[in-house]
Structure 1
């Protein structure tokens, strides 16, 4: 099938967008100056992420299909965390001209398959030549007339609960960095996260006061809720659902508390909330703390943890 340079910009665009599924919200897909996506609510939830080769993925660790799934998942999860339904993705792709066309096609297949889990569609984007691969994804969503679920609604007395796996991607990354190839479940969790997309609707029905996608580590992300809400959050370590495959070593809890990129969900709920069994209560919102909001573990402040692009 040759390289992207041999195919050319418009040949590549045609190859990547040919046959893309179109959801009911898409009035006009790829092929014009811009796409047209219905916004019945009158508002659009929008989020964007960048994935840079060598920073977010390595081609010797992950194939293009898994990279596509991961790129879509981290954006779709952000839309779901707002209590919205994902509708569309816009994809910007910077690639070397010598890259095989088949690599880009597999990337788009991964993007499209992840979108299918939520009913979203790829509606456009851009391609450009570059020395290294960068993928820029913008996701749109619809609130269906309902208020968004924010980080700023947590109140003293609320329960803190999580939905989804914690620490698997972090443990998988550690294995890859050590040159290991097993356990395969952990390696795959890093290559392709599996957000529980039903979490947004579940949280809304349970009366969530705050919600977010856990992308940079549970404690760090709960810190965002604490800061936005002006409260303190206390996590009880014994209640954190450490995946069995991580074992009982001290590192297992560390991965669950500070590991990112599983794209699970964390939220706060009224004390009397009727939470589905898929959610696990791990702590409480303890007090208003407008001057010093933050997160404690078993009543004690935690040290640095979680991911920060400009600290590493």
Structure 2
């Protein structure tokens, strides 16, 4: 049996069981006095993670942004980022400079810094980021915590990154910025955590469908979403050839880096004081469902996975 036979999620489950059980959150959590230190790491590769059209600056920005998005999902303040890079020896130094300018610009845009890291030679451009954040114990947000009746919400709009991937294949780079320059929702994550109204949260970096299944598994619930309430990105509307294709971009494509979260219904007004978001459904006892044109259908566990 090979990695490609089972996919990323199944491999993670095997490793987790081998290590004695780890909680599936966006970050690891370490208690420090009255706070939590949250830590995440993400490895990106030239061939599988960066579109050929991405500039070196965008490659650097993406490396920092994907890690900061995990910090946002915990409701934490970023403390800094470590960068380990494996660089092919034939790479032009100017190209490398631009990668690290992109990293620097991203972390500075979100009020943090690069703390250090490691650089080595490697056959394929590979960059591993590690981000650290801090949040009080009373404010941390986990994937578990949703209960039936909670409202399901998302920041921003959905499907833009998936639309960007199609746009690149069509030569429409003007519609691909969402994909190439993701914007982690740090401000929103911190503000939502501060309300005390949010019961569970994660980022939807692997697509809405897979994120719903992950959130449901962590909390022991299900979800029903309403098609008419999904905030579909303008990029999707500009390039999708049908409503079905638009829905596929929303459900399956990764890379949006929005926050997917649940709120106690009686506290929804408190949550709305934190930031703008859309209510797209509700937590239920079990199952992952989509209601569209009066019909209810199951949403399969589909989305972006490495190795599959």
Is TM > 0.5 for Structure 1 vs Structure 2? yes
- Where in structure 1 do 4 or more consecutive aligned residues deviate above 6 Å? none
Structure 1: stretches of 5+ with no match in the other structure: 1-38
C-alpha displacement of 1:296? 1.1
Separation of aligned partners in 1, 2:109 and 2:38? 18
1:189 equivalenced with 2:186 (yes/no): no
Aligned to 2:210: 220
C-alpha displacement of 1:205? 3.5
Q: 1:150 aligns with which of 131, 142, 145?
A: 142
Query: What aligned pairs does 1:234-273 form with structure 2 within 5 A after superposition?
Result: 234-247=224-237, 249-250=242-243, 251-272=245-266, 273=268
Deviations 1:242-262 (A, max 9, x none): 123322722112212222111
Query: Structure 1's 303 and 223: CA in aligned 2 closer, same or farther, altered over 3 A?
Result: closer
Aligned to 1:15: none
Separation of aligned partners in 1, 2:235 and 2:87? 36
Aligned to 1:25: none
Greater Cα radius of gyration, structure 1 or 2: 1
Aligned to 1:305: 302
Aligned to 2:46: 53
Q: Is the contact between residue 77 and residue 186 of structure 2 (CA under 8 Å) also seen in structure 1?
A: no
Separation of aligned partners in 2, 1:230 and 1:133? 39
C-alpha displacement of 1:64? 1.0
SS in 1 for 2:66: helix
Q: Is the contact between residue 166 and residue 259 of structure 1 (CA under 8 Å) also seen in structure 2?
A: no
SS in 1 for 2:67: helix
C-alpha displacement of 1:228? 0.7
C-alpha displacement of 1:191? 1.2
Q: What is the root-mean-square deviation of aligned Cα atoms in Å?
A: 1.8
Aligned to 1:132: 124
Aligned to 1:70: 62
Structure 2: stretches of 5+ with no match in the other structure: 1-31
Deviates more, 1:241-250 or 1:134-143: 241-250
Q: Is the contact between residue 71 and residue 186 of structure 2 (CA under 8 Å) also seen in structure 1?
A: no
Deviations 1:145-185 (A, max 9, x none): 53420011000100000002311111111232x3x22261x
Separation of aligned partners in 1, 2:134 and 2:89? 36
Structure with a larger share of its residues in helix: 2
Q: Is the contact between residue 168 and residue 262 of structure 1 (CA under 8 Å) also seen in structure 2?
A: yes
TM-score, normalising length: structure 1: 0.80
C-alpha displacement of 1:40? 7.7
Deviates more, 1:191-200 or 1:71-80: 191-200
Separation of aligned partners in 1, 2:211 and 2:123? 33
Query: Structure 1's 43 and 203: CA in aligned 2 closer, same or farther, altered over 3 A?
Result: closer
C-alpha displacement of 1:198? 1.7
Separation of aligned partners in 2, 1:173 and 1:196? 21
SS in 1 for 2:216: helix
1:285 equivalenced with 2:283 (yes/no): yes
Separation of aligned partners in 1, 2:84 and 2:185? 25
Q: Is the contact between residue 92 and residue 126 of structure 1 (CA under 8 Å) also seen in structure 2?
A: yes
Query: Structure 1's 68 and 165: CA in aligned 2 closer, same or farther, altered over 3 A?
Result: farther
Query: Structure 1's 296 and 204: CA in aligned 2 closer, same or farther, altered over 3 A?
Result: same
